[in-house]
Amino acid sequence: MLGQMQNWPLLVSKLLESGEVNHPNREVFSMLPEGGEFRYTFKDLALRARKCAQAMERLGIEKGDRVATLAWNTHRHVELWFAGSGMGGVTHTVNPRLFPEQLIYIMNHAEDKILFLDVTFVPLIEKLAPMLETIEHYVIMVGREHMPETSLPNVICYEEFVEAEDGNYEWPQLDENTACGLCYTSGTTGNPKGVLYSHRSNFLHTLTVLQKDVLSIGAHTVILPVVPMFHANAWGIPYAALAAGSKLVLNGPHHDPETLHMLLMREKVTMTAAVPTVWMQMLRHLKENDLNCGELKDVTIGGSAVPRSMIQTFQDDYGVRVNHAWGMTECSPLGSLGSENSAVAELSNEEKLDVQCKQGRPVLGVEMAIKDDDGNHLPWDGKSSGRLMVRGPWIVESYYRSGETALDDEGWFDTGDVSLMDEYGFMQITDRAKDVIKSGGEWISSIDLENEAVGHPGVAEAGVIGVYHPKWDERPLLCIVEEDGQTVTKEEMLAYLDGKIAKWWMPDDVVTVEELPHTATGKISKKDLRDQFKDYKLPGT
Ligand code: ADP
């Protein structure tokens, strides 16, 4: 027997409409790539999104067409992102930090029909345009007064494009399983792979993001999503902000701690989210200039493991609660979140901190399992580590145009992460499967070593890789970036680690580097680091 309730399709245009109807005067603030800043309301945003959808339809963009964006977090990007999906197209947020060859590959693979780009990316796209096989129109996201001279073909000025319409437009009532957005993984191994989100998956993901324990988002929240929209939809924050009535503060192309801090203070931000590297710079800036965080209460950190020292500094020195999140492009991206449950609430502060360093408990809508290499399920005992498997309504089923399932026989997606589950139901990533150091048949977690190493006050960043060892196969090499004006010798570093890690995990060598290579999503690029040290000989070998 079927239920007898309304079949109201779960569409992202409904999230936008909810913001417009229920919170019309809530503000959106945006820094602009062409310079200056801008402020308007949810009502204005929704109107402009409708105008943008009208304009695209007039230009010949049809349902199912891929609408690419190469843009920072701005009000224009948000309105266009809703417009592309809402009208039945597929908004494809392209990560401008990828290499040119990857950008060409991705846009051709997606068969993008139109590209909306920030004015800052015009020189880059002028070089790539001859190789972009399917793009018919280039829309530069500025007003006429800031339109550059350009060799791009079929160029459109965004403000004129949008403002030529009247906004008298109804969002189509699509099937909720219609494709809505496209995001490519950064391709740390092989070519980037496309993850094709649906309206339903993004809508359900938003409902979970809005739960009390998840990202602390509500009608009173003022959110600065530093995480870019091209990084898994800014972790779903713009959808959630519109749905909940939270003020959105968008930092445009600015990621420097000075600007971010100015925004925190001036716009009275209460919640923000980004990868650890952003916060590393911010904490240094706060300390050096003796600043505070204003009204900031919550910071969500994910994308890479969050070091204990970072959690402690935020909480003890600035009174800001750290939410350690785990996710990936394939999970829309949210998988687990570190807010305490009732069992953890009973623990001592030190023990709570231990739990916060883990990647959190699965959110409603995400199931997790740990399997060994033969596909056997491992117990959640805090010891057995294996492949982290996930399933749920916003987890990838197959990669875009791959033609094959990405799931195992039981319907689980293999995340490529190695993890364990503790007795409180908190998941802990010990490594990415390809980054674990295999020493004499045992596994050493590069993440654990890095987290300990950055606890040293003279260390700004640390990366650990396995390098060849004739007896043990691989041994850990610790690469550190020193804090400005500090020197940390190998002996000091090893003495610091002594007692904090198992003896046989002790790095065989410590080298100081000017900087560590990073991927387009802000993680330490272990692949590049391994390349850099591929001929490295450990002492005594
Ligand atoms: P990429 O395109 O680089 O794969 P993703 O954001 O999809 O970008 O990366 C997802 C991966 O990031 C996860 O599989 C995991 O290895 C890592 N990751 C994400 N959050 C965390 C975290 N809190 N701690 C450790 N690793 C994390």
Q: Rounded to whole angstroms, how far apart are CA atoms 290 and 142?
A: 37
Q: Rounded to whole angstroms, how far apart are CA atoms 89 and 91?
A: 6
Pocket flag, ligand 1, residue 435 (CB < 6 Å): no
Q: Is 504 a catalytic residue?
A: no
Q: Rounded to whole angstroms, how far apart are CA atoms 348 and 334?
A: 28
Average pLDDT over residues 82-88: 98
Residue owning the nearest CA to atom 3 of ligand 1: 186
Listed residue (429, 122, 469, 480) closest to 305, CA to CA = 429
Listed residue (178, 218, 172, 217) closest to 197, CA to CA = 178
pLDDT at 487 over 80: yes
**Catalytic site residue from 111, 443, 512, 527:** 443
d(CA 451, ligand 1 centre) in Å: 15
Domain edges within the chain: 14-198, 436-532
Average pLDDT over residues 351-373: 96
Average pLDDT over residues 121-127: 98
Phi, psi of 198, deg, nearest 5: -110, 165
Cis peptide before 517 (omega within 30 of 0): no
Pocket flag, ligand 1, residue 417 (CB < 6 Å): yes
Token pair listed for 74: 């701005």
Atom number, ligand 1, closest to the C-alpha of residue 186: 2
pLDDT at 186 over 80: no
Residue among 278, 310, 323, 328 to mutate when testing ligand 1 (max atoms within 8 A of CB): 328
Atom number, ligand 1, closest to the C-alpha of residue 231: 6
pLDDT at 399 over 70: yes
Q: Is 330 a catalytic residue?
A: yes
Helix (H, G, I), strand (E, B) or coil at 266: helix
pLDDT at 438 over 90: no
| pLDDT-based confidence at residue 45 (cuts at 50, 70, 90) | very high
d(CA 162, ligand 1 centre) in Å: 36
| pLDDT-based confidence at residue 187 (cuts at 50, 70, 90) | low
pLDDT of 189 reads 58
Q: Rounded to whole angstroms, how far apart are CA atoms 514 and 479?
A: 10
Q: Rounded to whole angstroms, how far apart are CA atoms 485 and 301?
A: 27
**Catalytic site residue from 185, 277, 415, 430:** 185
Q: Per CATH, the architecture of 436-532 is what?
A: 2-Layer Sandwich (3.30)
Atom number, ligand 1, closest to the C-alpha of residue 325: 23
d(CA 227, ligand 1 centre) in Å: 13
Note the pLDDT tens digit of each residue in 191-224: 889 999 999 999 999 999 999 999 999 999 999 9
Pocket flag, ligand 1, residue 329 (CB < 6 Å): yes
Classify 401 in phi/psi space as left (phi over 0), alpha (psi -120 to 50) or beta.
left
Average pLDDT over residues 149-169: 98
Atom number, ligand 1, closest to the C-alpha of residue 360: 23
Q: What is the mean pLDDT of the chain?
A: 95
Q: How far is CA 115 from CA 157, 164, 181, in A?
A: 12, 19, 14
Pocket flag, ligand 1, residue 102 (CB < 6 Å): no
Residue owning the nearest CA to atom 6 of ligand 1: 328
Q: Per CATH, the architecture of 14-198 is what?
A: 3-Layer(aba) Sandwich (3.40)
**What DSSP letter does each residue of 340-374 carry, written as one string?**
--HHHHTS-HHHHHHHHTS-BEEPTT-EEEEE-TT
d(CA 255, ligand 1 centre) in Å: 20
Bridge partners, 419 (sequence order): 386, 429
Note the pLDDT tens digit of each residue in 274-321: 999 899 899 999 999 999 999 999 999 999 889 899 999 999 999 999
Residue among 326, 330, 355 to mutate when testing ligand 1 (max atoms within 8 A of CB): 326
d(CA 21, ligand 1 centre) in Å: 36
Note the maximum CA span of the chain. 74
